[in-house]
Amino acid sequence: MDLLAELKRKTMTAEAVAATVRDGDQVDYGMCLNQPDLFDKALAARKDELKDIDIRGTLSVQKRQVVEVDPQQEVFTYGNWHFGGYDRAMKDNGVMDYIPMNFGEAPGIYRRFLTTDLVVIKTTPMDAHGFFNYGATNSFIRASMDTAKRIVVETSTAIPRCFGIENAVHISEVEVVIEGDNAPLFELPNPPITEVDETIAGYIVEQLEDNSCLQLGIGGMPNAVGSAIARSDLKGLGIHTELFVDGMVDLVEAGMVTGNHKQSYRGQICFSFALGTQKTYDFLHDNEMCTSLPVNETNLPDNIARNKKVASINNALQIDLVGQVASESSGYRHITGTGGQLQFVRGAYASEGGKSFMCLSSRYLKGGEPKSRIVVGHEPGTIVTTPRTDTMYVVTEYGVTNLKGKNQSERALSLIELAHPDDREGLMKAARDNKVVSRRYW
């Protein structure tokens, strides 16, 4: 095959590709940094010519034009596997749907239950061997392509080239190539680390051991944990994570990450997608220490548990007094998604010497008034992400407790101790009134 000739033959404009979309088509936009921009704009421009176009996407990092031009969903419906800030706002306005899933199951869901007429994914330009690399987002892209009738790539020189498994598609499989605009990648600014974050991070670091294998979530608190680890004397750490973030770059550059004590992908930093600043994307580009994996390989609990001393560190929005963790909705308002939290909680517990941590500040502000994140029970509509039977360590700025092995009364009492001092009396009264604790505490 003459690769350059094939590339030239298959190259078309975004408008020409959008013109091939037909009524009733199912279109897949992929995830995060790999969602197409030129094609999205071109498809949106056809709103008055089409009907019943169903689109799937995940974690939008900028406005999706098919949503913007059709706020009444007359033509385009958009289903989303995990929300970012834009997606959350669109759900609040009633113009975006959430699709529930454990993230590690995504490739299996695609291959077992879904079909797609057209998948359009942003990739690197074609390399000398005819491959288009997915860059910093592997996740379920290969699975979505396996179930698609047609594959289109929109290229970008801004996408970092990452080594890994199922992380590229060959031109022989691609129907059309769109030359992208090469715009700089979206950068997720790191939120400032608060004093509460620092305190929580300190409690977690005290629980970690040399040769631990880390998974960090996203946000100020996990970043604080990364910073605290970097200041500690821990050594020989590994990384096996769903999401790769800036704080992990800091750990590698501090010489704390070797991966030499991992049982799977020894010596490698394993991740399924990355989201951060340009520092992260530059670090991943052509870095042989980093292995990009499909999300079933990173997130299924059996794969996580192959490593010893897994430390899974995630944020929570709220926890009730029996240990049910809410991390994706506040009442009926959907905020994020299940993601990989539950699978990493279970994988860490199954890991020899593993630990999972649920991190949350004791309070948040609502309408200017402080509200407790530790509650006697969740309000109606709140989604429980991690069941009480799975929750292990819970951490606030007032301490850390392990719920495993505790009865319901012991759980409630230990969680009340982690609440803000001004909320403890009220929580204890509610625990008594609702019989969350046994008679000896009434």
Q: Please give the positions annotated as active site.
A: 242
How far apart CA 314 and CA 233 sit, in angstroms, is 22
| CA-only gyration radius of the chain, Å | 23
- Residues 6 or more apart whose Cβ sits within 8 Å of residue 389: none
d(CA 109, CA 103): 10
- Calpha distance 23→75 (Å, rounded): 9
310: left (phi over 0), alpha (psi -120 to 50) or beta: beta
Element (H, E) at 150: strand 148-155
For tokens 């689109």, name the residue.
Answer: 55
The b-or-e profile of 152-162 (16+ CB within 10 A means b, else e) is: bbbbbebbbbb
- Tell which residue, 179, 132, 175, has the closest CA to residue 10: 175
Tokens of 325: 């963790």
Widest Cα–Cα separation across the chain: 80
- Do the Cβ atoms of 244 and 271 come closer than 8 Å? yes
The total number of residues written for the chain in this structure = 442
Single-letter residue type at 168: A
Provide φ and ψ at 357, rounded to 5°. Answer: -125, 130
10 vs 120: CA distance, rounded Å? 14
| Nearest residue to 135 (alpha-carbon basis) of 174, 95, 179, 167 | 167
Q: Give the closest residue to 117 by CA, choosing from 37, 29, 34.
A: 29
DSSP class of residue 103 equals G
CB–CB of 59/31 below 8 Å? yes
Among 277, 214, 207, 268, which residue's Cα sits nearest to residue 241? 214
CA-to-CA separations, 23 to 27, 50, 76, 404, in angstroms, rounded: 11, 6, 10, 53
Q: Are the beta carbons of 374 and 415 closer than 8 angstroms?
A: yes
> How many CB atoms are located within 10 Å of the residue 37 CB?
20
